[in-house]
C-alpha cells in the first residue's frame, strides 16, 4: 500500500455495496495511489456493510471486509469516514447518527433521507462537529451542490431550474423524438435499465421532489423538506401533448423549479412537467442526462450538465466527497455547515406565478371565444396568444397566457369546465424558461 | 454594520477598481448582511488601490478608502484578505507575493499571471501557508476550478474541451448565424463592447491559451504554463469555412483542449479553431457565453455553462472565493494547495492525435483522387470520407480523416502542396467532439 507522506491511512467504512457501493470499492482500489496523493494520506477500506454476505457483487470485494453488522462497523474506533449508499430512511438515518456521535465524517448519497429529515442529520453534524457531504444525492456526477454552497456563496440565487431525474427525461425524450406513447417509452426505459420495474418514484416525481427540496434549501439558505414540494408526475402526458408542444417550438420536460418569489420573501419549490422553448439550453438535454440551470443576480445564467445517475458517475461524486472530508480530517477542520439563516418559507403552489398553455375543446359557434376570454379576464389571467382551429361542429382553442398565479389559473380552468360550450379542457401545461413577460 | 455572531470583521483589501473591481465593491456593500451570515463574520472593505484617485468608477466608492499606494495597502497589519483584479504580470505579482509574505489570504482573477508564473505564486502560497483562490481567472462566473479541484478529486479526467473566450465565440457565432466575414463580425463585437479596440489577446488565442494552461494544470495535477500551449487564433477563418462546416452539420468554435495522451503518460494542451458536430453540447453555446466540457473516467461527460466575462459575473466568482478564504481564516485552515504530484509533461503538438477536415482545389482529371489518396496513405493518415465536386477544369476535394497525429497530417499537407495537380490546399481544420474513431 502506498503511504503518501508517511501519514497513517484514513479508514473508510462503506454502508451498502449495490450499484454505487461496488463502484466506490473499485475506485478506492484502482485509484489508491492518486487518492493518497490528493488527500495527503492513503485511504483504506475498513469494512463494507451488506444485507447478505453471499450475494454476487459488481466488483471483487475482499470477503474479510464484508459484514452484516453495520452498527458495529460505523462505531468502530479505527473508522474515520462513513460512506452511506444504502438509501432510504432507516437504517440509514440511525447509522449516520451513530457514526456522527462518534465523530466520524459522513459522506452520503441519500436524497430521500436528507429531503425528509435533513434537520436531524444536519443538526447531528453540527452538534458533533462532524463533516457531512452529500454531492451524490442530487444529479449524480454533476458537481452541483459544491458550486451552489461554495462558488455561489457570494451571489444571490434567483432560480434553479433543473432536469434532475434521468428516467423521466429518457421517457419524455423518446416520446419527443419517436412519437411514442408514455407507456411505450416507459417500457423501453425499463428494457434498457433506465426505469425500475416499479417506476413510481421516478414517473410520479418523488425522486425529483426530494432533489428539489435539497437544492432549494442550499440555494436559498433555508430549510426545505420533500413535504414542502408541489409534485406532479409525467404519467398523464400524452403523445398529443408532446406533438402539440413540438409544433409550437417547445419540448416537454419534467422540471424541478426552486424560485424566489417576486418580492424575495418566500420561495416556491415544485416538480412538474412543463413546456420549455427548444432554444433553451435545457431543451437539448437528451436521453437520461441531467442538467441544472441556475440564475443568480451577479453570475447570470449558469448550467451544469452530466450523468445524473448510474454506478460509476454517482461513485465519482462520492469519491470527491471522500477526498474532501479526508483532507478536512487531516487539516483538523470541516466543510461548510448547513446554512439556513435566511429562513425563507415555502409559499403554497397557488402563489406560484408562471405562464400556461391550455388546450380547450369547444363548440364551434359565434361568441365562443368571447365567452372563454371573459372567464380569463374575470380571473385576471391575461392571454398572450390564442389559436382557434375548426373541426366540424367542434373547435380547438389553444391559449398561452402571460404570467399569472397558479390559484388564478386553477379558478379559470374550473370555471371553463362548467361552461356549456366547453366540451373538455384537453390539457393544461405550465410554460417555463421563456422570459417573455 | 451587521456583526454576525459578534465576531470582528475580516478586512478586505482590493487591488484594482475597474470593471470587475467596482462590482466587487458594490456587492460587498449591497450583500453585506448575507455575506456576514454566510461567512460567520462581517466582511469590511479596508481599502481600494487604484492608479488614479480622481477617475469615475462604475460604483460609488468611499474616497477615504482609495489609495494609490497598493504596496502599503496589502502589507497593512489589519488586512486579512487581498483581492487582486488588476490583471497582468506586474505589479500584480509583487503585490500578491508581498501580501502572502504577511500571511494574507489571496483571491485573484489573474489568468495571465497564473499561466505565466503560477509556480512562483503557488510556491509562495505554500511556503507562507496562505490561501490562494482563483475561480474568476477562468470562465468568469462559471464554477469550474472548484469542481475540477474538489468535486472531481476522486476521479480521473481524460479531457477538458472548452469555449473559454467570449469574444471569439461571439465572432464565430455571428459568422455562423449571419454569414458575416471575420472582419465584419469583429467590428460588430467591438461596437457592442465584446471585443477591445486591440483585439489581439482574444482573436489570436492568447487569452484562451492562458486559461487552457490553468485548466490543464488542475485537471491533470501537473504544472502547465502558457508557453506549453499550442495556440492558433481565428483571424484566418473565412465565411466560406464557416459555410462549408455548416453544410456538413458542423460549427466552428475556438476550443481550448487539454487531453491526456492515449497512453496516459503525457498531456496535450492546445487552443485552435475546430469543427464540432452541431449535436455536440458545445455547438449550442451562442454569443459571448462560455462552456467547458469535461470527460472523466467515472463521471463521464460533464458540461459547465455560463457567462465567461463581464463585471458582475466575474465579481460573483471573486465573491465566492472571498467567502471561502474568509471561512477558512475563521476556521484556522486553508483550501487545497496546488496539486502537481502527477507531474505529466506536455507533449509537442505533433504528437496530438485528432481528426481533420481538409479542402483541396485540384485539377479535374482522371487519377487525381488516386494520387491524393496515395499521399495520405504514405503518411498513415486514414481517410474516412471524401467528396469530389467538379468546377469546370478544377475540382474541389473535401476529405475528412480518421484520427491521425498532427505531425503526420502536417507532412501530408506539405506533400500535397507540392503536387502538380493540386492548385491549393484551401483549408485544414481539426474536427473535435466527434467520437467516431
Residue A435 pLDDT class (50, 70, 90 cuts): low
Taking chain B (437 residues) in consecutive chunks of 10 residues, what is each chunk's mean pLDDT?
Answer: 69 96 96 96 98 87 96 97 97 98 97 97 97 95 94 95 97 97 97 94 98 98 97 96 92 98 95 94 92 96 93 96 96 91 96 96 91 96 92 90 97 96 94 71
H or E element, residue B159: strand B157-163
Contact status of A276 with chain B (Cβ, < 8 Å): no
> Cβ separation of A302 and B331 shorter than 8 Å?
no
Whether residue B285 contacts residue B305, with contact meaning beta carbons closer than 8 Å, is answered with yes
Q: Quick one: chain B helix, strand, coil %, rounded to 5?
A: 40, 25, 35
Contact status of A32 with chain B (Cβ, < 8 Å): no
Report long-range pairs for A369-374 (Cβ below 8 Å, ≥24 apart): A369/A397, A371/A419, A371/A421, A372/A397, A372/A399, A372/A416, A372/A419, A372/A421, A372/A422
> Cβ separation of A143 and B147 shorter than 8 Å?
yes
Contact status of A37 with chain B (Cβ, < 8 Å): yes
Contact status of B343 with chain A (Cβ, < 8 Å): no
pLDDT of residue A77: 97
Residue range A176-196: mean pLDDT, rounded? 95
Q: Closest approach of chain A CAs to the CA of B44, in angstroms?
A: 14
pLDDT of residue B366: 87
> Cβ separation of A306 and B299 shorter than 8 Å?
yes
pLDDT of residue B372: 95
> Cβ separation of B298 and A305 shorter than 8 Å?
no
Prior bond of B383 cis (ω within 30°): no
> Cβ separation of A317 and B38 shorter than 8 Å?
no
Q: Is B18 annotated as a binding residue?
A: yes
H or E element, residue B41: none
**Is residue B342 helix, strand or coil?**
coil
H or E element, residue B84: strand B81-84
CB count within 10 Å of CB A420 equals 7
pLDDT of residue B5: 56
In the Cβ-directed half-sphere of A9, how many Cα atoms lie within 13 Å? 17
Determine the straight-line distance between the first and last CA of chain A, rounded to whole angstroms.
61
User: Is A211 one of the catalytic residues?
Assistant: yes
Cα separation, A289 vs B80, whole angstroms: 43
| Residue carrying C-alpha cell 469516514 | A81
A325-374 confidence digits (pLDDT tens): 999 999 999 998 899 999 999 999 999 999 999 999 999 888 999 999 99
Name the A residues in 128-147 with CB < 8 Å from any B CB.
135, 141-143, 146-147
**Is residue A251 helix, strand or coil?**
strand
pLDDT of residue B435: 66
Residue range A79-97: mean pLDDT, rounded? 97
Residue A1 pLDDT class (50, 70, 90 cuts): very low
How far out from the chain centre does Cα A225 lie?
Answer: 13
Cα separation, A232 vs A206, whole angstroms: 9
Cell of B347: 507533449
H or E element, residue A167: helix A166-178
> Cβ separation of B34 and A151 shorter than 8 Å?
no
CA-to-CA separations, A57 to A25, A29, A61, A73, A87, in angstroms, rounded: 10, 15, 8, 20, 17
Is the pLDDT at A196 greater than 60? The verdict is yes
Residue range A259-270: mean pLDDT, rounded? 95
User: Which residues of B are known catalytic residues?
Assistant: 211
Residue in B with minimal Cα distance to A334 = B331
Residue A5 pLDDT class (50, 70, 90 cuts): low
Mean pLDDT of chain A: 94
Query: Hey, of B20, B109, B151, which one would you mutate to test binding to chain A, going by the most A CBs within 10 A of its CB?
Result: B151
A266 forms beta bridges with A345
pLDDT of residue A308: 87
pLDDT of residue B6: 76
Name the B residues in 198-257 with CB < 8 Å from any A CB.
221
Cell of A175: 416520446
Q: For B227-315, where are the E strands, in sequence order? A: 230-231, 250-260, 266-277, 289-296, 300-307
pLDDT of residue B56: 85
Q: Looking at beta carbons, which residues of chain B come within 8 Å of A301?
A: 306-307
Residue range A281-288: mean pLDDT, rounded? 91
Please provide the size of chain B in residues: 437
Show Cβ contacts of residue A107 under 8 Å, excluding neighbours closer than 6 positions: A81, A82, A83, A84, A133, A134, A136, A318, A321, A322, A325
Cα separation, B157 vs B155, whole angstroms: 6
Contact status of A156 with chain B (Cβ, < 8 Å): yes
pLDDT of residue A56: 85
Q: For A211-351, where are the E strands, in sequence order? A: 230-231, 250-260, 266-277, 289-296, 300-307, 345-346
pLDDT of residue A3: 47
pLDDT of residue B164: 97
Contact status of A278 with chain B (Cβ, < 8 Å): no
Is the pLDDT at A304 greater than 90? The verdict is yes
B236-260 confidence digits (pLDDT tens): 999 999 999 999 899 999 999 999 9
Whether residue A252 contacts residue A242, with contact meaning beta carbons closer than 8 Å, is answered with yes
Q: Is B20 annotated as a binding residue?
A: yes
Q: Looking at beta carbons, which residues of chain B come within 8 Å of A327?
A: 336
Prior bond of B91 cis (ω within 30°): yes
CA proximity to B408, closest of B349, B359, B367, B368:
B349
Q: Looking at beta carbons, which residues of chain B come within 8 Å of A297?
A: 312
Q: What domains sit in chain B, N to C, each tagged with a CATH number?
A: 4-140+312-331 (3.40.50.720), 148-309 (3.30.360.10), 349-431 (3.30.70.260)
Name the B residues in 288-327 with CB < 8 Å from any A CB.
291, 296-307, 310, 312-313, 315-324, 327
Residue range A406-411: mean pLDDT, rounded? 98
- ∠ CA(A283), CA(A285), CA(A288), 5° rounding? 135
**Is residue B162 helix, strand or coil?**
strand
Is the pLDDT at A133 greater than 50? The verdict is yes
> Cβ separation of B315 and A298 shorter than 8 Å?
yes
Amino acid at each position: 500500500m502506498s503511504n503518501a507522506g508517511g501519514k497513517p491511512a484514513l479508514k473508510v467504512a462503506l454502508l451498502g455495496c449495490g450499484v454505487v457501493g461496488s463502484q466506490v470499492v473499485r475506485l478506492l482500489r484502482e485509484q489508491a495511489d492518486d487518492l493518497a496523493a490528493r488527500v495527503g494520506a492513503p485511504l483504506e477500506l475498513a469494512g463494507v456493510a451488506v444485507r447478505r454476505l453471499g450475494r454476487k457483487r459488481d466488483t471483487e470485494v475482499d470477503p474479510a471486509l464484508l459484514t452484516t453488522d453495520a452498527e458495529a462497523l460505523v462505531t468502530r474506533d479505527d473508522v474515520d469516514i462513513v460512506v452511506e449508499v444504502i438509501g432510504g430512511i432507516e437504517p440509514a438515518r440511525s447509522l449516520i447518527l451513530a457514526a456522527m456521535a462518534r465523530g466520524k465524517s459522513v459522506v452520503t448519497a441519500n436524497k430521500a433521507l436528507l429531503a425528509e429529515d435533513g434537520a436531524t442529520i444536519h443538526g447531528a453534524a453540527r452538534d458533533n462537529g462532524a463533516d457531512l457531504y452529500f454531492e451524490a444525492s442530487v444529479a449524480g456526477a454533476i458537481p452541483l451542490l459544491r458550486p451552489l454552497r461554495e462558488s455561489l456563496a457570494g451571489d444571490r440565487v434567483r432560480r434553479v431550474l433543473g432536469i434532475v431525474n434521468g428516467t423521466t427525461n429518457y421517457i419524455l425524450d423518446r416520446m419527443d423524438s419517436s412519437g411514442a406513447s408514455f407507456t411505450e417509452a416507459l417500457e423501453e426505459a425499463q428494457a434498457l435499465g433506465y426505469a425500475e420495474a416499479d417506476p413510481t418514484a421516478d414517473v410520479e416525481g418523488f425522486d425529483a421532489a426530494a432533489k428539489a427540496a435539497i437544492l432549494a434549501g442550499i440555494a436559498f439558505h433555508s430549510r426545505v423538506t420533500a413535504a414542502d414540494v408541489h409534485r406532479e408526475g409525467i404519467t398523464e402526458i400524452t403523445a398529443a401533448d408532446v406533438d402539440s408542444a413540438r409544433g409550437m417550438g417547445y419540448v416537454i420536460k419534467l422540471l424541478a423549479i426552486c424560485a424566489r418569489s417576486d418580492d424575495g420573501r418566500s420561495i416556491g419549490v415544485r416538480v412538474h412537467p412543463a413546456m420549455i422553448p427548444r432554444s433553451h439550453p435545457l431543451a437539448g438535454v437528451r436521453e437520461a442526462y441531467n442538467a441544472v440551470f441556475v440564475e443568480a443576480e451577479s453570475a447570470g445564467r449558469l448550467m451544469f450538465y452530466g450523468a445524473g445517475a448510474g454506478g460509476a458517475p454517482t461513485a465519482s461524486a462520492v469519491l470527491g466527497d471522500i477526498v474532501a472530508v479526508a483532507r478536512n480530517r487531516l487539516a483538523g477542520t470541516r466543510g461548510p455547515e448547513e446554512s439556513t439563516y435566511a429562513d425563507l418559507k415555502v409559499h403554497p403552489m397557488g402563489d406560484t406565478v408562471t405562464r400556461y398553455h391550455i388546450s380547450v375543446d369547444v363548440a364551434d359557434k359565434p361568441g365562443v371565444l368571447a365567452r372563454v376570454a371573459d372567464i380569463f379576464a374575470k380571473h385576471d389571467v391575461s392571454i398572450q396568444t390564442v389559436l382557434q382551429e375548426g373541426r366540424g361542429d367542434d373547435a380547438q382553442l389553444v391559449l398561452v397566457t402571460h404570467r399569472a398565479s397558479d390559484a388564478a389559473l386553477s379558478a379559470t380552468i374550473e370555471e371553463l369546465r362548467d361552461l356549456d360550450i366547453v366540451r373538455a379542457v384537453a390539457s393544461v401545461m405550465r410554460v417555463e424558461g421563456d422570459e417573455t413577460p
